[in-house]
Amino acid sequence: MAEATAERQRQRAAQSWRGRDSRGRGTWRRGPLLALLAVLLACVLVFHRQIPDGLGNLGSLTETFLPWFGLGIPVLLVLGLLRKSAVAVAALALPVAVWFALFGALLGDKGGGGWDFTAVQHNVSADNTDVSGTMDTLLAARPDVISLEELTAANLPEVRTKLDPAYPYHVVEGTVGLWSRWKLTGSEAVDIRIGWTRALRTVVHAPKGDVAVFVAHLPSVRVKFDGGFTANRRNASAEALGEALAAERTSRVLLLGDLNGTMNDRALAPITSQMRSAQGSAGAGFGFSWPAAMPMARIDQIMSRGITPTDAWTLPRTGSDHLPIAAHFAL
């Protein structure tokens, strides 16, 4: 009896897909709105560069969280199946294909091979109540250089106590700093047009050659109902940093910092157009770094020019609201 009942239910389900609904519409005529939403989702993914920034930097906001638009695909799939709409389900092939074209390469592990140089980058957070433990996490990665942002008069002494013994060469400019195993020369602040110092440039004399290292902390951005994506100060700083990078004559260049923007964000084009992301080239997955409690975007970056990243990853959570990130490089 149970088997017969189950068979009748299967037959009715099949019939509902092949037959018509209460309004006489076949499965290929049901759910046109869902199909339209699938096409619109694909259009957002394909044409995100064409979304204007004039209204609250909407384009940059979309690009910051662009990978997450893929969550719309399973939602529309469930709705299409519940609606028994063949056209809605078929239309999802468009956003699926586009999403994988944009982000599919990030899903695999691209790391591997030897390295000569390891960098760690971390916004230590001015509100960090466990600076000592944070430094221990960074030291566990055994990097050759460590870049830090949000250094303050309160946390800097503890940072120095932990890092100076293993990293005798270091430079601090304003609220950013770099600690190195190897000698530093030419250290100077970099003006990113925000009125105080949040960027520096120095040369690390690694055993296999010199590397010009920039450390930067671009202005924060906010999402406000009355002002949209408040990124104008960050965008102006990105242009200034891009100019400094373009003027650098050392053939090997490394950029470490909290850029408050992702590689997809058009506003960082002055930087991303001339630098290579370690995570995008040699990491596994998206490598989201913020917020630490539930990472949704990679706004901390390790980028290079003239040196080859061979691996990239995130470190365990610290007392900061950012995750530390790390990368290996072959010189």
CATH number, domain of 272, equals 3.60.10.10
- The CA distance from 210 to 216, in Å, is 19
Residue type, 319: G
Q: What is the pLDDT of residue 226?
A: 45
Cβ atoms of 330 and 282 closer than 8 Å: no
Asked if residue 177 and residue 297 are part of one domain, the reply reads yes
Final residue in a domain of this structure, among 51, 79, 107: 107
Indicate the helix (H) or strand (E) that contains 123. Answer: strand 117-123
pLDDT of residue 57: 74
Provide the token pair at 326.
Answer: 């790390």
Residue 112 located in a structural domain: no
Q: Which domain holds residue 95?
A: 2-107
Determine the pLDDT at residue 108: 86
- Residues 121, 145 within the same domain: yes
Asked whether residue 280 is assigned to any structural domain, the reply reads: yes
| Same domain flag for 67 and 190 | no
Per-residue pLDDT 10s for the chain (331 aa) are 566 566 666 655 555 555 655 555 567 778 889 999 999 999 999 999 898 876 667 888 888 899 999 999 999 999 999 988 999 999 999 999 999 999 998 888 888 889 999 999 999 999 999 999 999 999 999 999 999 999 999 999 999 999 999 999 999 999 999 999 999 999 999 999 999 999 999 999 999 999 999 999 999 876 654 445 567 899 999 999 999 999 999 999 999 999 999 999 999 999 999 999 999 999 999 999 999 999 999 999 999 999 999 999 999 999 999 999 999 999 9
Please name the residues in contact with 236: beta carbons below 8 A apart, sequence gap of 6 or more.
193
